[in-house]
A and B are shown apart, each in its own frame.
Chain A
Amino acid sequence: MKQQHKLSSGEQQEQTVQARTAKTTAKEFGSVEELLRHDAAQTVVPPEIARRLEESARQAPPKRPWWRRLLG
């Protein structure tokens, strides 16, 4: 009997965890735009891009416009 009680307590705990998980992960979006905005907000820009950009700019600095070269 004690064993049975212990089992049901464990089951109860598991159910609570499942319910909590479902509650925290379930989401509903009213429109495609809302869904995409949420997705965009979750998106992290890889820091590698900024590093590569700096490197590329350093290797080949942007040309000065012709009128600036002319004016010195």
Chain B
Amino acid sequence: MKAPCVGTRCVEAAEPRILSPDFSELYDQHSRAIFYLALRFLGDPQKAEDATHDVFLKALRKLDQFRGEASARTWLYRIAINHCRNLLKTWHDRHVFPESDSAVWETAAAGESPLRILETKELGDRIQRTLDGLPAEYRLLLLLISDEELSYEQVGALTEQTPDAVRGKLHRARKAFAALWAKSE
């Protein structure tokens, strides 16, 4: 079995341990990206913390299955996306959520204007409010594409669609975000 590669180094698949330098390096390199995805996708810091823990624990357990065909980042993202989607599905099954007002952003033409913020301390809250107003698919696409390590092809593979479909949906997602952002001021 091919040993999984982390960055430029290859990890020994046998007996992975959290305390091993290789897994610690994997955690150090990718934990912020995974935590950020979970935080903004789920919209809850405590649940994001739990999810990040669970994702890396799954990764630790599945380390011997990682063949290094994808980058470590995309492998971890795949585990994180599945985990977060399952969590969201469970919540949606338990609660009735009001439909977001799609008309607000479908008809908006605010997509091209720069996004301005005066108080950076409120930035996180405002970003979360804006993301919460978007469909989960748009939210996920924007979060993935904002990671400079991922290409359109990789985002397409992670969300099971073609790169062209990603581009099309991203265009609408950006417009939707900008419209909701302007409204959230």
Measured in the bound complex, the distance between the Cα atoms of B120 and A50 in whole Å is 28
A-B CB pair tally, cutoff 8 Å: 111
Q: Which residue of A lies closest to B117 (CB)?
A: A27
Measured in the bound complex, the distance between the Cα atoms of B87 and A33 in whole Å is 25
Contacting B31 at CB < 8 Å: which of A25, A38, A45, A56? A45
How many B residues face the partner with a CB closer than 8 A?
A: 47
Q: For the complex, is A4 an interface residue (Cβ under 8 Å from B)?
A: no
Contacting A35 at CB < 8 Å: which of B13, B39, B115? B115
Query: In the complex, are the beta carbons of A68 and B14 less than 8 A apart?
Result: yes
Query: In the complex, are the beta carbons of B61 and A64 less than 8 A apart?
Result: no
- Taking Cβ atoms with an 8 Å cutoff, the residues of B that contact A are 1, 13-19, 27, 31-33, 35-36, 39-40, 45, 49, 52-53, 56-57, 60-61, 63-64, 114-121, 123-124, 127, 142-143, 145-148, 173-174, 177-178
